[in-house]
Each structure stands twice: as C-alpha cells, then as structure tokens.
C-alpha cells in the first residue's frame, strides 16, 4: 500500500523564531551572510560562494543579463533562463562576463563618418554623452577618438558636421592597456582628471570604458560577487533535453555555474545529465540539480554528483503543479527534512552539498526562516520580478504600477524542455500562470532592506553567520490565531482611512 507521512506538511508562515541571547557583539554590520554555492569536502573551501544568500530564478520573466549584473553587484547570483535558443542564452552569459565590475562594454559607439545629427540622436536614445569613435562603429573596433558633450555645441555646430571634424583624436587621448586593473584605471582617471578611460588591446581595439562616475558606485558595493578576473559571477540554466549542446555553449560563454531547470529532480534524466557533464568536464563544471522535497530525492542527486540541490515543488507563487497534478510538499517541512539529510550525508561522506530553498517565500521573514531551517541560500522568482532590473514590462493596472510575471510552466513561456508531456514537445496542460506583481522599484534598494531584516533577526538569535544561526535557531509552530495576532489587529490603520479636513 502507499506510504503515508505522519507529519503534516507545513509552510513558512506556520513558524516563528524564538529569540536567543544576543551579546553586545551582535551588530548588524558584523553579520556575515556569505554561504557556499557548491559542494566541497570537509576541511576545504567551496570553489564558489555567495556573499549574500540570494539567487534569482531560472525564469524568462526574472533572470536575464541585466538582472545578473545587478544581483552580482549586490553579492548574489542570477541563473539566466534556459527556455530560449542556446545562442541567445550564451550571448547573455557572455555579456555579463564582458561587463567586468567597473569595466563597461560600450553600447554607444560612433563611426568617423557619422554626423552630429546622428550623435545627438544616439545621445537622446541611450542617455550617454561620452561615445567612443571606432573604425567600424562597433564596441570593439579600432579606437580613432572619442566624443563628449564638450566637443560640440548644437547651437553653433552644423548638424551635418562629420564626427572626425569635432572628435578628440586618438593621439590626444589617455588610454590604458587591457591588463589594467580597476584600481589602476581609477588612479589614471584621477591623476589625469578624466571622466572616462578607454581600455584597449595591443591592436588598439576598444575593450572597455571605465567611467569616473562608476568609481563611487563600485566603492558602494563591497559585496560584489566577482571571479578571479574581477568579472561578475553568473549562472546558466540548462535542461535534460539539449544538455549536450547547451552545456558546452554555456561553458564557452563563461558561465561560472549551471543549474538543471526542472520541476522535479528525482529522475534518471537528471542523473544522465550530471553523469555526461562529469564525464566531459570533471569538476571544472559545477551543476546544481533538483527540485526535491524529501531525503530520498536529496540522496539520489547528491550521489549523482549534484553540486547543490534545489528544494521545493509547487510552492512558487505562479506554480500550480500541486493543483494540477497533486504532487508537492509544504516548503518548510521539505527544507527541514532535506537539511537533515544533507547533514547526515556530510557526516557519512565528508562532502557538504548545499541546499537551495526554491519557492514558498512570500515575505522577507520567510527567507530568514528558510535559512534557520537549514537552507544555504534561496532561489527567488516573484521577489526579483518586481524590480526595475527584471526583463518584463511595467504596466498600469487599476491605477497601480505592476510588472508582468509568468511561470515557466505557463503557455506563455513555451518551455517544452522543462514541462514537455510527450514527444511532440508541447504542453498538454499548464503548471504555471501568467500574472502581475506589484512594481517595487530598484533592486539595490529592496535587497538592502531585505538583508537588513535578515541580519537583524540573526542578531536577535545571537548569530553572526549563517552556520551559527542554523545551530542556535529555535523554531516553534504557531496556530492560525497566532498568525492573525502577529499582524496589526483591532485597530484602524491611518493609511486606510480618508480623513475629512477639520473645519
């Protein structure tokens, strides 16, 4: 007969943390949120870490190159979505790696034969006033000069004037060779009182631009997630269908870590994918797998060589897998069981396999609960979909700004590689919805608030690191009445009342 679990499956909203002793050392600026991203052996350091425990989901409506750059700047990681042609995903990965913290691949470039009219039009379109002039007008052409707003006066210079007639020529430029570090580039900028510094290769072709205005921005992001070459770290989604083509392309493009995008990971398909990757690349390519919700699923993927394992089925805000298929498990219960299995695996084998909580997070405090329950980091979709940096449109619904957000299991995503129910490569039914989420503004501002809440709660529990937090955390189940008690109640909130002016 079927196996029955005695325990009810619980969600994050059914738990609260019990405060612990907090010493004078528990200050928010002392809390270290770094966490391992991939498996490692006892006594060794992981090959990849996160400076904050946040990753963005492998979704069309969440993770493109813009999101990847913005999140890596804050210390996290994006997994660029795989439900697109291999070449397009590889191009997004390459763009993130080309960005290089503080080094910008110019997207506003001029050719010498362009006119002032075209310069002004490009400036209005891009918002950039500093534009390199290259022989072929591309971002990596041979540098001939540079144009800034100080090189022309639209009121006096004829709009038909060629760029060559008013640009600052190459021989008068201060440039830097490609081996220049960011610190050296900033020193050159300050020493020569420049606003921008072109970085060129040995053939005089443009590689990057370093801008004075980015110096302060770079200093304001001490947790930037960078590789050994000071480039942003980025992940790439893959699937169990075209992995023999997609994995090599992602590796060539520079992806630091891969992740199998699947609604259910306890399968021979994922085992095959992991085996092929390990046979081809050994440990030089790191791949996460999932999703699972119990000990058996974790052990299967850990033994198959997964570098991290995603936990959660059916808990996402746009996921209707439980409703459609009747499978899944409460996210809190899933994390608790899988974290216990991870710790057992570590004791038995000496190999630590990080787990990622994927789905079921609605409020910021749910992230703290996920960490306390044993998650090493979270993968978030709805949370990041609300920000300027997500790739979807901002629209107005009933007078409120919203952002579009759809699931990979929805018809809109056309993600046959994740949800195909047959050889025809089409969806027999949907496991995700097409929706809107409230627009929330810039990623940086919102992530800062979220991290402040996590740090504050950790201090309340007397913890300065995530591992310490997981050891010290005390959790309690709460009743439905307690949930109501936890919010504002028995009062009339001012922002919900239209007060009449006094007479």
> Which residue among 418, 455, 459, 461 is the active-site one?
418
Cα separation of 4 and 232, whole Å? 46
Cα separation of 200 and 198, whole Å? 6
In this prediction, residue 493 carries a pLDDT of 79
At 277, list the tokens. 């990757």
Q: What is the pLDDT of residues 337-391, one digit of tens each?
A: 999 999 999 999 999 999 999 999 999 999 999 999 999 999 999 999 999 999 9
Q: Is the pLDDT of residue 155 over 60?
A: yes
Q: What is the pLDDT of residues 162-213, one digit of tens each?
A: 999 999 999 999 999 989 988 899 899 999 999 899 999 999 999 999 988 7
Strands (E), 148-195: 168-169, 176-177
Catalytic residue flag (residue 231) = no
User: Rounded mean pLDDT of the chain?
Assistant: 90
Closest C-alpha to 9, from 303, 256, 228, 312: 312
In this prediction, residue 324 carries a pLDDT of 75
Q: How confident is the model at residue 126 (pLDDT cuts 50, 70, 90)?
A: confident
At 427, list the tokens. 């969806």
In this prediction, residue 125 carries a pLDDT of 84
- Local structure of residue 502 (DSSP, 8 states): P
Q: Looking at the DSSP assignment, which residues form a beta bridge with residue 387?
A: 441
> Which residue among 26, 319, 459, 461 is the active-site one?
319
In this prediction, residue 455 carries a pLDDT of 98
Q: 104 φ, ψ to 5°?
A: -110, 130
Q: 307 φ, ψ to 5°?
A: -85, -25
The residue assigned the tokens 């992806």 is 255
Cα separation of 40 and 272, whole Å? 22
Q: 438 φ, ψ to 5°?
A: -60, 130
How distant is the alpha carbon of residue 30 from its chain centre? 24
Cα separation of 234 and 79, whole Å? 7
In this prediction, residue 414 carries a pLDDT of 63
In this prediction, residue 232 carries a pLDDT of 93
Catalytic residue flag (residue 418) = yes
Kindly give, in sequence order, each residue whose CB lies less than 8 Å from that of residue 501, ignoring residues fewer than 6 positions away. Answer: none
Q: What is the pLDDT of residues 464-476, one digit of tens each?
A: 999 999 999 999 9
How distant is the alpha carbon of residue 145 from its chain centre? 36
Q: What is the pLDDT of residues 396-444, one digit of tens each?
A: 999 999 999 987 767 666 665 665 554 455 666 667 677 899 999 999 9
Listed in sequence order, the DSSP H helices in 236-358 are: 243-253, 268-281, 295-304, 321-325, 331-349
In this prediction, residue 422 carries a pLDDT of 47
Q: What is the pLDDT of residues 3-58, one digit of tens each?
A: 888 889 999 999 999 999 999 999 999 999 999 999 999 999 999 999 999 999 99
At 364, list the tokens. 């910021």
Cα separation of 437 and 253, whole Å? 32
Kindly give, in sequence order, each residue whose CB lies less than 8 Å from that of residue 203, ignoring residues fewer than 6 positions away. Answer: 142
| Contact assessment for residue 248 and residue 268, using Cβ atoms and an 8 Å cutoff | no
Cα separation of 191 and 185, whole Å? 10
Instruction: Report the predicted TM-score, pTM, of the whole model to 2 decimal places.
Output: 0.82
For residue 291, say if its preceding peptide bond is cis, omega within 30 degrees of 0: yes
Q: Is the pLDDT of residue 500 over 90?
A: no
Q: Is the pLDDT of residue 498 over 80?
A: no
Cα separation of 433 and 444, whole Å? 27
Cα separation of 464 and 421, whole Å? 46
Give the pairing of strands 176-177 and 168-169: unpaired
Q: What percent of the chain has pLDDT over 70?
A: 93
């Amino acid at each position: 007969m079927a196996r029955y679990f005695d325990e009810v499956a619980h969600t994050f909203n059914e738990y609260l943390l019990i405060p612990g002793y907090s010493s004078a050392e528990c200050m928010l600026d002392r809390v270290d949120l770094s966490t391992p991203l991939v498996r490692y052996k006892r006594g060794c350091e992981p090959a990849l870490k996160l400076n904050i425990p946040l990753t963005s989901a492998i979704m069309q409506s969440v993770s493109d190159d813009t999101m990847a750059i913005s999140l890596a700047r804050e210390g996290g990681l994006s997994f660029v979505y795989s439900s697109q042609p291999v070449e397009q995903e590889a191009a997004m990965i390459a763009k993130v790696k080309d960005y290089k913290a503080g080094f910008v691949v110019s997207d506003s470039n001029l050719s010498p034969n362009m006119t002032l009219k075209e310069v002004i039009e490009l400036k209005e379109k891009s918002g950039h006033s500093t534009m390199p002039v290259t022989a072929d007008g591309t971002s990596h052409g041979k540098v001939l000069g540079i144009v800034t707003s100080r090189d022309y006066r639209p009121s006096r210079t004829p709009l038909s004037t060629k760029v060559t007639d008013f640009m600052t020529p190459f021989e008068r430029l201060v440039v830097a060779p490609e081996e220049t570090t960011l610190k050296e580039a900033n020193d050159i900028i300050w020493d020569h009182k420049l606003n921008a510094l072109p970085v060129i290769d040995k053939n005089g072709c443009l590689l990057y631009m370093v801008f004075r205005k980015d110096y302060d921005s770079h200093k304001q992001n001490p947790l930037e997630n960078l590789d050994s070459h000071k480039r942003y770290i980025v992940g790439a989604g893959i699937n169990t269908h075209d992995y023999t083509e997609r994995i090599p392309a992602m590796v060539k493009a520079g992806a630091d870590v891969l992740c199998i995008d699947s609604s259910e990971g306890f399968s021979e398909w994922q085992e095959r994918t992991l085996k092929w990757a390990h046979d081809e690349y050994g440990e030089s390519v790191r791949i996460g797998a999932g999703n699972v919700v119990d000990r058996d699923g974790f052990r299967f993927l850990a033994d198959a060589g997964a570098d991290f394992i995603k936990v959660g089925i059916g808990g996402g805000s746009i996921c209707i897998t439980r409703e459609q298929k009747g499978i899944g498990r409460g996210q809190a219960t899933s994390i608790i069981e899988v974290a216990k299995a991870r710790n057992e695996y570590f004791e038995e084998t000496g190999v630590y396999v990080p787990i990622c909580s994927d789905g079921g997070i609605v409020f910021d405090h749910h992230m703290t609960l996920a960490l306390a329950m044993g998650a090493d980091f979270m993968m978030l979709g709805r949370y990041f979909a609300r920000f300027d940096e997500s790739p979807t449109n901002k629209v107005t619904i009933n007078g409120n700004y919203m952002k579009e957000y759809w699931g990979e299991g929805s018809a809109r995503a056309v993600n046959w590689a994740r949800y195909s129910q047959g050889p025809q490569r089409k969806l027999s039914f949907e496991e995700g919805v097409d929706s809107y989420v409230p627009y929330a503004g810039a990623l940086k501002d919102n992530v800062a608030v979220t991290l402040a809440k996590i740090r504050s709660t950790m201090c309340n529990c007397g913890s300065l690191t995530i591992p310490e937090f997981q050891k010290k955390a005390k959790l309690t189940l709460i009743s439905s009445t307690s949930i109501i008690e936890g919010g504002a109640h028995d009062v009339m909130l001012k922002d919900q009342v239209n007060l009449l002016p006094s007479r």
